[in-house]
Amino acid sequence: MTEKAIIREQVQSRRKIFSPAELCQKSFQICHQIEQHERFLSSECVMMYYPLPGEVDLTTLLDNYYRAKTLLLPVVSGKNIVLKQYTGRHNLVQGAFGILEPTGDIWSKPATPGLIIVPGLAFDHQGHRLGRGQGFYDRFLLHQKGYKIGVCFHYQIFPSIPVETHDISVDEVIFA
């Protein structure tokens, strides 16, 4: 078993210790940290994600800011991610891997995200990220210039994450 596979198993095991209510409270704390972050305050265009079970839930931020900022969500298209604008929960459909995705056109305007909030299964303090193993975010982030913040729960922080040449790190990790 690879080191990445071992970390993925450890995360799954650690998650079972926490109740949904505890993770909801930690998600709220992370959202509060993000909305006070200088990069969030100064970015007119922000990329987020709609959470899967077990991921930091950003729906508070999505619902509170989609009218004030341009919020973009990832949509899986083949082996890549494209962006679509979040315009409210009523404009979401279930997409690839059971992820809720915005309806509408692919984002093609010149404004690019000044801030990119990235989920992950595990992070280290150097910003290395371990995803689900498909490489969607690595391929996407390779071409992005925005400031990248990884978000996770404290049990998803590891002393080090194995890094391969195709892995893209984040600039900062916020956790609770």
- Does residue 173 lie within any of the structural domains? no
Write out pLDDT tens, residues 21-37.
Answer: 999 999 999 999 999 99
- Does residue 146 lie within any of the structural domains? yes
- Does residue 20 lie within any of the structural domains? yes
- Does residue 15 lie within any of the structural domains? yes
pLDDT at 92 over 90: yes
- Does residue 170 lie within any of the structural domains? no
Tell me the residue ranges of DSSP E strands in the chain. 45-47, 70-77, 80-85, 92-94, 100-102, 115-118, 122-123, 129-130, 147-152, 172-175
- Does residue 123 lie within any of the structural domains? yes
- Does residue 132 lie within any of the structural domains? yes
- Does residue 172 lie within any of the structural domains? no
Write out pLDDT tens, residues 134-145.
Answer: 899 999 999 899
CATH number at residue 133: 3.40.50.10420
- Structural domain boundaries, residue 71: 3-161
Counting the structural domains of the chain, the total is: 1
Average pLDDT, the chain: 95
